[in-house]
Amino acid sequence: MTPIEGLPSLHLPARDIPIPSSVSAEARAILAAPRQAAAAYPPPDDVPAWKAMIAAQDAAVAAMVDSRPVDAAVTVEDAEFDGVPVYVVTPPGATEGRVYLELHGGALILGGGLICRGMAARTAARIGAQVWSVDYRMPPDHPYPTPLKDCVAVYRALLKDHRPEQIVIGGGSAGGNLAAALLLRARDEGLPLPAALVLNTPEVDLTESGDSFQTNLGLDPVLQRSLMPVNLLYAAGHDLTDPYLSPLFGDFTKGFPPTMLTTGTRDLFLSNTVRLHRALRAAGIRADLHVMEAAGHGGFLGMAPEDTELDREIRRFVDAHWAD
Amino acid sequence: MTPIEGLPSLHLPARDIPIPSSVSAEARAILAAPRQAAAAYPPPDDVPAWKAMIAAQDAAVAAMVDSRPVDAAVTVEDAEFDGVPVYVVTPPGATEGRVYLELHGGALILGGGLICRGMAARTAARIGAQVWSVDYRMPPDHPYPTPLKDCVAVYRALLKDHRPEQIVIGGGSAGGNLAAALLLRARDEGLPLPAALVLNTPEVDLTESGDSFQTNLGLDPVLQRSLMPVNLLYAAGHDLTDPYLSPLFGDFTKGFPPTMLTTGTRDLFLSNTVRLHRALRAAGIRADLHVMEAAGHGGFLGMAPEDTELDREIRRFVDAHWAD
């Protein structure tokens, strides 16, 4: 965040923040877990070092994803549209024709491949609808605009045999960036808009100008530092304030679908989320905001009753907006 | 907040928080204003000291209220219902029969009399409807349950010649406590529910169990410390967890009107607000949450464009719920 010239900073003394009694025991355990110091980001141009960091972090997440059971009745088809790999996941009882187009998270560099596939299966079970999850290409080999183009290509393919009102687009974190950017770009290209959009703790401002990038630093158990080196790797020289990179700065008066946004009071992306909500509302867009008490980025990792309650909220929103 | 036994606190080092670039210049000026250390709370039983503190703080607020112009076309009638003073404020163009029943803020001890009267005139101009603002009695002379009883008495009087769907109830801060408690009590007494409820940064948990009572301490420019001594003065020995004192702990599955809630990311009552929102949603109540970027308690004191934008949101919500 750029300090404002001539305005003083606010000095906060050192503090001990107790684990709150206002959340479930499961959530408290997440908040109380020891935090591991992250390895330093590689230098911008050291591609092998970035790839090694990405591989190590993906391996850790893959182990976590694999450890959670998936409903055996969920089927996964490995598809490809316009050269982009897509996992098409169908849970039992899914309404024919409805598709939840998911853009996975992972800071725009992580979470592809088997992680994307495994997470999509869980989303499908939670949403109760067919999920198409896009395994978009990523940096360092494929920086902006390739990831966004991959997402737009799949949306375009999806529109060939689906009515837009049968489609909901969703994404968390970096996936929320791509979901919102995809909407802006699809709109600008004259494509029809989907029935609705779901953005979970979305990374919609790669400039990190929001207040919570400062105020929640050290409080969020998941995002423990600025992601700026990754944002610059993704942008590859493009302007971070471009709405296709930071959709928070888009013009929503030109049209945008009904949007649900979720975050937590300790989320480093709290400001991202509430600012986008206000921008949408100021433009007259239907937008519903949900903030979880004491939750950092991504809620409580799906392990607390608070997550389950929010999942029900997402399902209600999606079901209310889908056409048959 | 009661620390959880056996769980470690989170240590946060001293930090300098820059004034955010993500808000208007007017909002930045509010955040950058020098903060005055508040006088220590009087001892619980020192009634003259409480009265002196209340008089001094009310005088400061009255000067601020008086300095803001009111539309000359707004009329104010000093009424009384069941012995409780009520300011009935009618702006030009108000729809006959509609009433916004306002319960003023002020930590349950401040903001009565001329401040209540002056604020009501501003609310009426903003909402575009007739406002009834209740000058309920307060501690130290009149602790709980008198303030709440005064509010219920006026709601009961209002119902004599208004249909409930013509009534919206609203309150900020301590007024949000009374508004939500009034709803619970009216419901429990079998009174009909109003069309809607507006709660601005509501003090719905007098136990102060929410996480933001810790995380936003020092960040909120308005509420700079715990209000517990005042809460205990108000409760006068009653259990702070009683839903009539802390409506956050109410059972909303028994019925509650559509509710709009507002807060800010730096608000000491951020947790109050988002927790009540989730409790209402979990009970299936229509509830809309709005969170202002970098705002403390009460937004930016009505002096920033962000406040005006939120006022429009409140007006949209109210207009959508009122019956003719």
Edge-to-edge, what's the strand order for the sheet holding B196-200? B75-81, B84-90, B130-134, B99-103, B167-172, B196-200, B259-264, B287-292
User: Which residues does chain A have within 8 Å of residue B281's beta carbon, measured at their own beta carbons?
Assistant: 290, 313
Q: Domain map of chain B by residue range?
A: 73-321
Q: Which residue has the higher pLDDT, B225 or A65?
A: B225
- State residue A38's pLDDT score: 82
Give per-residue pLDDT as tens, B32-89: 998 888 889 999 999 999 999 999 999 998 988 877 777 778 999 999 999 999 999 9
Q: Is B97 helix (H, G, I), strand (E, B) or coil?
A: coil
Interface test with B, best of A2, A204, A211, A289 (most B CBs within 10 A): A211
Q: What letter would DSSP give residue B161?
A: S
Q: What letter would DSSP give residue B59?
A: H
Edge-to-edge, what's the strand order for the sheet holding A196-200? A75-81, A84-90, A130-134, A99-103, A167-172, A196-200, A259-264, A287-292
The stretch A114-124 carries a mean pLDDT of 94
Contact by Cβ (8 Å): A238, A245: yes
- State residue A4's pLDDT score: 60
Asked if pLDDT for residue B3 goes beyond 60, the answer is: no
Structure tokens at B175: 């007024």
Give dist(CA A63, CA A231) in Å, integer: 25
Give per-residue pLDDT as tens, B299-314: 999 999 999 999 999 9
- State residue B13's pLDDT score: 95
Strand partners, A18: none
Give dist(CA A250, CA A283) in Å, integer: 11
Give per-residue pLDDT as tens, A255-270: 999 999 999 999 999 9
Consecutive H or E run containing B153: helix B146-160
Closest Cα in chain B to A281: B313
Q: Is A171 helix (H, G, I), strand (E, B) or coil?
A: strand
Rg of chain A (C-alpha set): 19
Give dist(CA A35, CA A215) in Å, integer: 18
A281 has a chain B CB within 8 A of its CB: yes
Q: What is the dihedral of CA A239, A243, A249, A255, to 10 degrees?
A: 160
Backbone phi and psi for residue A114, each to the nearest 5 degrees, phi listed first: -65, -30
Give per-residue pLDDT as tens, A173-230: 999 999 999 999 999 999 999 999 999 999 999 999 999 999 999 999 999 999 999 9
Q: Is B134 helix (H, G, I), strand (E, B) or coil?
A: strand
Asked if pLDDT for residue B2 goes beyond 80, the answer is: no
Q: Is A58 helix (H, G, I), strand (E, B) or coil?
A: helix
Selected residues 208-247 of chain A with any CB under 8 Å from a CB in chain B: 209-212, 214-219
- Count CB neighbours of A97 within 10 A: 15
CA distances from B217 to A18, B84, B180, B293, B303 (A): 13, 36, 25, 16, 23
The stretch A157-162 carries a mean pLDDT of 97
Q: What is the dihedral of CA A305, A308, A314, A320, to 10 degrees?
A: -110
The stretch B203-230 carries a mean pLDDT of 97
Q: What letter would DSSP give residue A110?
A: S
Q: Predicted confidence band at B293 (pLDDT cuts at 50, 70, 90)?
A: very high
Q: Is B32 helix (H, G, I), strand (E, B) or coil?
A: helix
- Count CB neighbours of B136 within 10 A: 26
If you classify domain A68-321 with CATH, what class do you get? Answer: alpha beta
- State residue A189's pLDDT score: 97
Nearest by CB to B1, from A9, A20, A281: name it.
A20
Q: Predicted confidence band at B291 (pLDDT cuts at 50, 70, 90)?
A: very high
Strand partners, A132: A88, A101
Inter-chain touch A8–B309, beta carbons under 8 Å: no
Cα angle: B179, vertex B184, B186; to 5 degrees: 90
Q: Which residue has the tokens 């948990």?
A: B205
Q: Predicted confidence band at A104 (pLDDT cuts at 50, 70, 90)?
A: very high
User: Which residues does chain B have within 8 Å of residue A212's beta carbon, measured at their own beta carbons?
Assistant: 265
Average of per-residue pLDDT values in chain A = 95
Read off the amino acid at residue B193.
Answer: L
Give dist(CA B301, CA B200) in Å, integer: 12
Average of per-residue pLDDT values in chain B = 95
Nearest by CB to B265, from A14, A18, A274: name it.
A274
- State residue A8's pLDDT score: 82
The stretch B20-26 carries a mean pLDDT of 97
Asked if pLDDT for residue A1 goes beyond 80, the answer is: no
pTM of the model: 0.97
CA neighbor of A260 nearest in space, from A297, A224, A310? A310
Tell me the three-class secondary structure of A242-288, residue by residue: CCCCCHHHCCHHHCCCCEEEEEECCCCCHHHHHHHHHHHHHCCCCEE
- State residue A15's pLDDT score: 94
How many Cα atoms are found within 13 Å in the side-chain-facing hemisphere of A106? 28
Q: Which residue has the higher pLDDT, B9 or A1?
A: B9
Query: How long a stretch of residues is chain B?
Result: 324
Closest Cα in chain A to B18: A9
Q: Is A60 exposed, middle or buried (0-12, 13-18, 19+ CB in 10 A)?
A: exposed
User: Which residues does chain B have within 8 Å of residue A17's beta carbon, measured at their own beta carbons?
Assistant: 9-12, 214-215
Give dist(CA B108, CA B225) in Å, integer: 16
Structure tokens at B259: 């509710």
The stretch B173-178 carries a mean pLDDT of 98
Q: Is A8 helix (H, G, I), strand (E, B) or coil?
A: coil
| Ramachandran sector of residue A298 (left: φ over 0; alpha: ψ -120 to 50; beta: rest) | left
Give dist(CA A209, CA A308) in Å, integer: 31
CA neighbor of B324 nearest in space, from B58, B106, B156, B97? B97
- Count CB neighbours of A63 within 10 A: 9
The stretch B173-194 carries a mean pLDDT of 98
If you classify domain B73-321 with CATH, what class do you get? Answer: alpha beta
Structure tokens at B84: 């409780």
- State residue A2's pLDDT score: 52
Contact by Cβ (8 Å): A102, A132: yes
Asked if pLDDT for residue A69 goes beyond 90, the answer is: no
A37 has a chain B CB within 8 A of its CB: no
Asked if pLDDT for residue A250 goes beyond 60, the answer is: yes
Inter-chain touch A14–B19, beta carbons under 8 Å: no
B280 has a chain A CB within 8 A of its CB: no
